[in-house]
């Protein structure tokens, strides 16, 4: 395989992998997973990721799913996104990457889709969303405190920036007053810095993310596909 294949939907977790691939300068092509037609549950897509989640990255080793796993694989294969094995910063990199992928990202997903976790009762859904938002507030403050000590590696920056973007935008038509990026000054500075990168400019164009995709997000207007 001469290049990667990224199965993506606009403004989904595949955005994180797009940013990483462009930052690495790795050749890849994209295959749209059309959420408007639930393509993520089609037999063809489920043969790549049986859990029906986006993204999938096809590589010479097969199909990889889970955003954190893809980032770690790319970092180990190509460098630049994170520290190499047996280097002093490796442990710090791994603990924060896994914290984001195993704790922060799932908590955010529960605020977007509480019915998937709490069932059909609206009161249960509201309680779950409130609980997860409180947890996310603590988690993000912890990450901001860590960012004050020095910049995260690029893989973590890309992952965090996307999550912060979605904190502002989703869920649609729900109260989002629980989140204010200005209260996380070190993470906001990270977002502003990322917006100067060529890889971010490429993603803005490819997915219609607007001029300030992380520091002051707007809803995506992608040239094809749907974010939700």
In tens, the pLDDT along 30-59 reads: 999 999 999 999 999 999 999 999 999 999
> Domain range spanning residue 122?
90-196
The answer to whether position 205 is within a domain reads no
Residue-wise pLDDT for 192-214, tens only, equals: 999 999 999 999 999 999 999 99
- Give me the residues paired with residue 56 across strands: 7, 65
Parallel, antiparallel, or unpaired for β 4-8 and 28-32? Answer: parallel
Task: Please indicate, yes or no, if residue 146 is contained in any of the structural domains.
Answer: yes
Number of domain units in the chain: 1
Given a cut of 90, whether residue 92 has pLDDT beyond it is yes
Q: What's the number of CA atoms in the CB half-sphere (13 Å) around residue 150?
A: 4
d(CA 64, CA 148): 32
DSSP 152: P
Which pLDDT score is estimated for 226? 85
What the block records as the tokens of 177 is 């007053």
Least confident of 89-103, 193-207, 214-228: 214-228
| Whole-number Å distance between alpha carbons of 174 and 166 | 13
Domain of 182, CATH number, reads 1.20.1050.10
Q: Is residue 166 part of a domain?
A: yes
In a domain, 144, yes or no: yes
Neighbours of 132 (CB within 10 A): 21
Q: Is residue 169 part of a domain?
A: yes
Asked, for residue 177, whether it belongs to a domain, the answer is: yes
Residue 167 lies in a domain: yes
CA-CA-CA-CA dihedral for 23, 26, 31, 34, to nearest 10: -10
Strand 56-59 vs strand 62-65: parallel, antiparallel, or unpaired?
Answer: antiparallel
- Dump pLDDT digits (tens) for 152-182: 999 999 999 999 999 999 876 667 789 999 9
Task: Encode burial over 135-172: b for 16+ CB neighbours within 10 A, e otherwise.
Answer: bbbebbeebbebbeeeebbbbbbbbbbbbbbbbbebee
Q: What stretch of H or E contains 194?
A: helix 185-194
pLDDT in tens, 57-73: 999 999 999 999 999 99
Within a domain: residue 131?
yes
* Closest C-alpha to 60, from 77, 83, 42: 77
């Amino acid at each position: 395989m001469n290049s990667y294949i990224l199965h993506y939907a606009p403004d989904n977790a595949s955005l994180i992998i797009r940013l990483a691939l462009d930052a690495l300068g790795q050749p890849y092509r994209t295959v749209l997973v059309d959420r408007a037609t639930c393509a993520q549950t089609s037999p063809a897509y489920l043969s790549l990721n049986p859990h029906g989640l986006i993204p999938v990255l096809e590589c010479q080793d097969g199909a990889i799913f889970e955003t954190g796993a893809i980032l770690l694989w790319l970092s180990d294969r190509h460098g630049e996104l994170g520290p190499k094995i047996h280097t002093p910063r490796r442990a710090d990199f791994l603990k924060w990457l896994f914290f984001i992928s195993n704790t922060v990202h799932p908590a955010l997903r529960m605020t977007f889709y509480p019915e998937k976790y709490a069932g059909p009762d609206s009161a249960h859904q509201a309680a779950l969303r409130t609980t997860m938002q409180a947890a996310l507030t603590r988690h993000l403050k912890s990450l901001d405190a860590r960012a004050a000590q020095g910049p995260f590696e690029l893989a973590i920056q890309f992952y965090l920036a996307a999550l912060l973007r979605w904190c502002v935008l989703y869920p649609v038509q729900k109260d989002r007053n629980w989140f204010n990026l200005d209260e996380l000054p070190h993470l906001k500075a990270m977002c502003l810095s990322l917006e100067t990168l060529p890889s971010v400019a490429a993603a803005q164009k490819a997915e219609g993310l607007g001029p300030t995709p992380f520091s002051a997000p707007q809803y995506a207007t992608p040239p094809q596909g749907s974010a939700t």
